[in-house]
Amino acid sequence: MHYPLKPARTFEHSGNEFDTRALTGPEEPVSRPVLLAVDGDEEALRGISRELHKRYGDDYRVVCDRSPESALERLRGFEAAGDKVALVLADQWLPGMSGTDFLTRAGEIYSTAKRVLLVAWGDRTAPGAILQAMSLGRVDYYVNKPWGEHDERFHKVISEFLYDWAKDRLPKFEEIRVVGEQWSPRSHELRDLLGRNGILHTFHPADSREGRELLARTGHDPAQLPVVILFDGQVLVDPSNSDIADACGANPDLAKYEFDLVVVGAGPAGLAAGVYAASEGLDTLIVEDEAVGGQAGTSSLIRNYLGFPSGVGGAELARRAAEQAWLFGGTFLFMRRVTGLRRSGDEIVVGLSCGNNVTAKSVIIATGASYRRLGVPNLEALSGSGVFYGAAVSESRAMKDQEVYVVGAGNSAGQAAMHLSKYASRVSVVVRGDSLEASMSHYLIQEIETADNIEVLLNTRVVDGGGRGRLENLVLEYSSSGLTETVPAAGLFVLIGAEPHTGWLPQEITRDEDGYVVTGRDLAQYGQTRRGWRVERLPLEMETSMAGVFAVGDVRHGSVKRVASAVGAGSIAVQSVHEYLSLAQRQGSSVSKEDDDIGEEVRDVHGLTPAAR
């Protein structure tokens, strides 16, 4: 599409053609990441240059240019020199080229650089270009040009994008260093686990210079992998997830074992329940066996979540929610599984994987669901070694300049494909059906269609694959012809369907034919009243067939598989918890006391952490 362009202008400066070096400043060391701004208007560019230099000049190399063609040449030069480019800003009305076209071409040179459209105050022609560019994924966002000095609205947008770019690309404090085999399943699991939990870490292959040095320094050899080195000097050899959580001090020494509410799972629904419950005065424990965020935590960019117009990473959203719950007084227990629930009088006994129990007046089940397995033996054998279920964010860098495949037709698959396209040479989306429209948001379909290195393979299945120690090839079957084809592949990211995490639940909690927990009014169609419902009332909203136990998010029968829906359900469930506790208080014992008294069932709770043991 062609945009109406403002006529190009030639500026004079000290009697000569305007010298962009006056804006860029003297030659600077190229080791600092680059901020590039392009605007054909001399006065506007001076203001942009001033604000960028003043605020970011100590940490970034600020480069400004009036010509889009010249700026593209600069970018090619930076790429050839191995320089990092963090942010590219461009006015929409550049001489000879629209800003969106320039940013699209800039993205082809630096796919990981943030791209922001500069818009002049009062420019009524800009909204149409912004909406189209955003919907097609050609820019990350827009910002109004600084109107003067100390324009904090301008800097808010710039600083947020610099944070988003820098958090995984610049040197950082290392809470944990991991040395392991690059393609081992356990190394993948650790990278994914630490990344999703927001733990600052670096991974060093055992055969790299850094890996060998770390092993030598700690007195270990490559036969003892993975080795985890904490910032305080602790060295863990092939640790379990719970060992790492305890060594990091992530789990508190619980001073008590009785709670108003135990939330099982810290995905969006569980985190929302934790935030609202803790903020409303309920003594709340949130138990998570893997990483905060659940499936949503693996999403590289969620663009349709309320309040984040430029999008938000799933892991970032989850970390913010977890911190919010903690600040309201919620208690977190990481890398521990809930192994069972049972009633004892008015209390609910919550069994933990460490062998201990806590009691709760109420429980919210928010264990979510996991991606379905492909069930192909040769590919299952390579899980974590090129075959990944989710995990596009944690493994994307390892896919640089490789051919990768994404299996799935939902939003998670679309987000994974877009994120991988920044690193991989080619991304193929494998879809069993004949379209994406029924299961993927329109904005993602548009972005995929306009991406040069993404191909959608409809009516296609992955039926086999293999490799020596890691994934090297896949076998695709085309249902329209019945033919198969073997293709090279460095990575396979599977994001299909979902299976609820409900196998640990007792029989008293009703599930549907697919294993999802049935709640509220839906219990009637599953014969709930014949399953031992022991209170003289109907189930509350989100309440399961065990009184006082609620279910929210993807684990619940009939739930809408969207982050916003999960968050809303978490808040609604807390309202039902309040109602349940109020009823129980008014009516005294609201459940049968046929079960044994809790007695010694809840014991040695101080054994939850090594420090307490």
Q: To the nearest whole percent, how much of the chain has pLDDT over 90?
A: 61
pLDDT band for position 534 (50/70/90)? low
Return the higher-pLDDT residue of 12 and 548: 548
Rounded CA separation 332/250 (Å): 8
Rounded CA separation 159/114 (Å): 11
pLDDT band for position 141 (50/70/90)? very high
CATH 3.40.30.10 holds for 176-247: yes
* pLDDT, tens digit (0-9, with 9 covering 90-100), for 397-434: 889 899 999 999 999 899 999 999 999 999 999 999 99
CATH fold of 377-494, please? FAD/NAD(P)-binding domain (3.50.50)
* pLDDT, tens digit (0-9, with 9 covering 90-100), for 425-444: 999 999 999 999 988 999 89
Spell out the domain ranges in the chain: 12-166, 176-247, 258-370+499-607, 377-494
CB 117 within 8 A of CB 93: no
CATH 3.10.20.30 holds for 12-166: no
- Identify whether 95 is preceded by a cis peptide bond (ω within 30 of 0): no
**What pLDDT was estimated at residue 255?**
58
pTM (two decimals): 0.78
pLDDT band for position 16 (50/70/90)? very low
Read off the tokens for 144: 């109004």
CB 548 within 8 A of CB 580: yes
**What pLDDT was estimated at residue 13?**
32
Q: To the nearest whole percent, how much of the chain has pLDDT over 70?
A: 89
* pLDDT, tens digit (0-9, with 9 covering 90-100), for 155-203: 999 999 999 999 878 777 788 999 999 889 999 899 988 988 888 899 9
Report the chain's mean pLDDT, rounded to a whole number. Answer: 86
**Apex CA 45: angle with CA 44 and CA 48, to 5°?**
90
**What pLDDT was estimated at residue 608?**
38
Rounded CA separation 189/161 (Å): 28
Rounded CA separation 171/422 (Å): 21
Residues found in the chain: 613
- Asked if domains 12-166 and 258-370+499-607 share a fold, the reply is no
Q: What is the mean pLDDT of residues 535-544?
A: 88
* Res. 598: pLDDT tops 80: no
**What pLDDT was estimated at residue 254?**
65
CATH code for the part of the protein at 258-370+499-607: 3.50.50.60
* H helix or E strand, kind and range, residue 90: strand 85-91
**What pLDDT was estimated at residue 421?**
93
* pLDDT, tens digit (0-9, with 9 covering 90-100), for 18-66: 334 444 444 444 479 999 999 999 999 999 999 999 999 999 999 999 9
